[in-house]
Structure 1
Amino acid sequence: MDRRSALRNVAILLGTAISAGTTDILFSSYTLPESEKNAVNFSAEQLKALTEIADVIIPTTKSSPGAKAAGVGKFIPMMVRDCYPAKQQQSFYNGLAAFEARAKKTYKKSFALIPLVERKKMLTTLRQETLDQKTNKIPEKADLTYFFTVVRDLTSLGYFASEIGCTQAREYLMIPGRYDGAYPLKPGQKSWAT
């Protein structure tokens, strides 16, 4: 099974946790012309910001490492450059640049360098702006809210497609028995990854 097929399967398993736009990209990315790939280049500072954004979305807990440990910070730009059409890559890039500019304007530092409390505050604000954008449709915020939707979706996809996401964040049984859709879970048990 190739990488795209595996990611498509994970996207289906995650269901509505991933937006329709991201699911559509994954299902149609095999037809993406080579000339559309790698339309943007991310700076080292932007890659660090993506890593920290992913880690705020899925942080480390007592029971499992977070998105940073799972390598989601490298997964996001790879997926954007390999699977998204050039126009969406540029929109994502513009949104990331606007988000970084907002961090620098507010805190005089890159997103990756501000305290965790402030990171959470910035992402909470961006999440609300993204929800508001569905009804308000403010053209100036289109790239920024598109960026948030994609980074949120790819964080979930990358994390739960990773070894850490499959084996530590969820209950994992290497050699499963027969399927039983009504199998009782113990109190506090994680959901199954297989």
Structure 2
Amino acid sequence: MNRRHAVKNIAFLMGGALSATTIGVFLDSCNPPSDKKGASLFSSEQDLVITELADTIIPTTKTPGAKAAGVGPFISMMMAECYPKDAQDVFVKGLDDLEARSKKEFNNSFAKISAEERKQLVGKLRDETIETLKKDNEQAEKDKAANKEPKKNPNFFAMARDLTLLGYFTSEIGATKAYEYVEIPGRYDGCVDLKPGQRVYV
């Protein structure tokens, strides 16, 4: 299986398309993204914000959420080790902007406000991101029509969403609790009808 097929499989696993920046990370060669590596990319306060952001995207419901699956440290590691510097800079700025908005609207750090308040902020951020990505896609189509190379504009929330989903559904908790997990499967069935409310198989 080549890398492009692997990316498509990951996108399918996560139930939708990856952002252009994340696809670029998977398709590009594994060159060091920048001089900043490991935990040094983020402060301890930013690591807390990343963990709470991931847990807001995938909260605990009938199954454990992103925090229980250790997605926060996964995001920090992936961003520091795999993403290029321009994406890292956008992500760090996005964290700072999210923190500033939290303090402005709720007078406290994003990591310390209530789950409902975090949900409100992330909802606004999600809606803004949808509009931004829509405009980026329109511009990319224009660039293709003009035989230009479309620009890949890193987007903070899109990257956070991608890494949250990737980290969660490839974790032990995501694979065994969120999916219908069969440790030792029997015969292969290419098409299995699911009962209402049943989890998909992994």
Q: Normalising by structure 2, what TM-score?
A: 0.79
Q: How many residues align?
A: 179
Quote the offset at 1:183 in angstroms. Answer: 1.4
Q: Secondary structure at the match of 2:16?
A: helix
Structure 2 gaps of 5+ residues are 137-153
Counterpart in the other structure of 1:57: 57
Q: Does 1:147 align with 2:156?
A: yes
C-alpha distance after superposition, 1:101-127 (max 9, x if no partner): 111122221101011111110001111
Quote the offset at 1:135 in angstroms. Answer: 4.9
94-103 vs 150-159, which deviates more?
Answer: 94-103
Q: Distance in 1 between matches of 2:130 and 2:82?
A: 25
Q: Secondary structure at the match of 2:118?
A: helix
Identify the match of residue 175 of structure 1 among 181, 184, 195: 184
Counterpart in the other structure of 1:114: 113
Distance 1:187 1:54, change over 3 A: same
Identity %: 51
Quote the offset at 1:13 in angstroms. Answer: 2.8
Counterpart in the other structure of 1:46: 46
Alignment of 1:65-84 (within 5 A): 65-84=64-83
Q: Distance in 2 between matches of 1:136 and 1:17?
A: 16
Quote the offset at 1:37 in angstroms. Answer: 5.1
Q: Distance in 1 between matches of 2:15 and 2:58?
A: 18
Counterpart in the other structure of 1:142: none
Q: Normalising by structure 1, what TM-score?
A: 0.82
Structure 1 gaps of 5+ residues are 138-144
Q: Distance in 1 between matches of 2:94 and 2:73?
A: 18
Q: Distance in 2 between matches of 1:34 and 1:149?
A: 19
Counterpart in the other structure of 2:149: none
Quote the offset at 1:34 in angstroms. Answer: 6.3
**Is the 8 Å Cα contact of residues 50 and 72 (structure 2) preserved in structure 1?**
yes
Q: Distance in 2 between matches of 1:173 and 1:186?
A: 16
Q: Secondary structure at the match of 1:93?
A: helix
Q: Distance in 2 between matches of 1:135 and 1:65?
A: 32
Counterpart in the other structure of 2:21: 21
